[in-house]
Structure 1
Amino acid sequence: MSTSLPERSLERFDEYLRRLPLRERKKLRTRRAIQDHALRLFTERGYGATTVDQICAAAEISPSTFFRYFPTKEDVVLDDEYDPILAEVFRAQPPDVSVMDALRAAFRAVFPFVYENEREPMIDRVRLMMAEPALRARMFESMRSGTLAVMVDLVSERTGLDRADMRVQAFCWAVLGVLHSAMYTWLDSDADVDLPELVDQNLKFLGDGLPLP
């Protein structure tokens, strides 16, 4: 079994977007526009003082359009489109690559592009998640039904284990734990630390068995 990251070329985030059908690209642009206006208003007025109606007015959309993209106001901060892209790159890894190395390869292929192009909105979103009780409460359920569910499917597919297997569940929760650890370390450093590199280091640490002196 291979224990190192594959050297082959990986699909990048921008390449994935270019391959989307026109309708999906338009939906993605609308989604991002709503989030951009929402984050601007949250920064200017505060999260609690900003209403969905105000976001809709700024984005020039109807409330029904807003809720078609985001079920709740909290979701406009929490949701993103990265899970399907990471999943595609993960599935493209050779079958002899371990689960952890496939996961690291996916993050290393996608996350630097996202970080380079969306660093400021990412900082705003993460700081809001950490500061707002309503967002923290919603984040757990969103994570459980979103990112965790995707990761469980991927690990189950690659290992052949049932998605309900305790090993699959424990592994995926552990991955989410080290990802959150990287996020908090990044914020505590005033975002000066390179987040993609920190994520990769944390995933490697987990893959090595979390060794301590």
Structure 2
Amino acid sequence: MAIKKTEKQLKSQQNKATIYTTALRLFSEYGYNTVTVDDICEASHLSKGTFYYYFKAKEDLVILAFFQEMDLYLEQYFNLDDHQPLLDQMISLIQCMFDYACSKGKEWTRQSYIGQIRTQIELMIEDRAMVKILFHLIRRGKQEQAFRLDYQEKEFYTVIIGTFTGLLIKWCTDSEDKYDYAKFVSNQVRLLFR
């Protein structure tokens, strides 16, 4: 039996998608800081009430876009392969995440992290591609006894993401590009392994 969505549910999905795509277009054209919620509502032909029904703040759109697109990027460019050495796979994953951030640029990356801090959105969502891949690699590492520390899976996740986030924040606030961040990423991952 195929359950069909009601017309109201379909309209609701359409409104949310319209706000999202309109906001991303405006951010791309005019810059995140220039665009207001009023601008998004006017361009999408929807009310502020409709906007706030779906999103708490403008920051939610940046966070949502950044991490949904990161997951799509990983699905396209990262090859999860249990026949490859675990260390290589972990470095490849983190490097792929860093490459994605570089492709989006420092300003977009910075705004996504500012938004996360302001809104306190939890991004460890089980069905996210990045989360699934990282937990797969962590479980594999625990089975292979490859890690230096005996953390629980969520603790490893927090250490890895926290380290990566710190490096990414340093990268997106570094106006002179003084460091080889790809090397930093690789070296930080290596520190977790025996």
Instruction: Report the TM-score when normalising by structure 2.
Output: 0.58
1:85 aligns with 2:69: no
Structure 1, unaligned runs of 5 or more = 1-26
Q: Give the equivalent residue in structure 1 for 2:165.
A: 180
Q: In the alignment, is residue 126 of structure 1 matched against residue 110 of structure 2? A: yes
Amino acid at match of 1:141: I
Q: Verify: 1:34 aligned to 2:23, yes or no.
A: yes
The amino acid across from 1:86 in the alignment is: L
Q: CA deviation at 1:167?
A: 3.0
Separation in structure 2 between the aligned mates of residue 104 and residue 76 of structure 1, nearest angstrom: 29
Residue 179 of structure 1: how far off its partner (Å): 1.6
Quote the Cα distance in structure 1 between the aligned partners of 2:112 and 2:168: 13
Give the distance between the partners of 1:115 and 1:62, measured in 2 at CA: 33
* Two-structure CA RMSD over aligned residues (Å): 4.3
Helix, strand or coil for the counterpart of 2:121? Answer: helix
- Confirm or deny: 8 A CA contact 2:75 2:129 kept in the other structure: yes
2:125 pairs with 135, 138, 145, which one? 145
Aligned residues: 164
Paired with 1:72 and 1:99, the residues of 2 have a C-alpha distance of 39
Within 5 Å, give how 1:97-176 maps onto structure 2.
Answer: 97-109=84-96, 111-112=98-99, 115-116=102-103, 118-119=104-105, 122-127=106-111, 129-130=113-114, 135-138=116-119, 140-145=120-125, 150-158=129-137, 159=139, 166-176=151-161
Which amino acid in 1 is paired with 2:80? Q
1-side partners of 2:135 and 2:172: how far apart?
32
Per-residue deviation at 1:181? 1.6
Pair member with larger Rg: 2
Q: CA deviation at 1:126?
A: 0.9
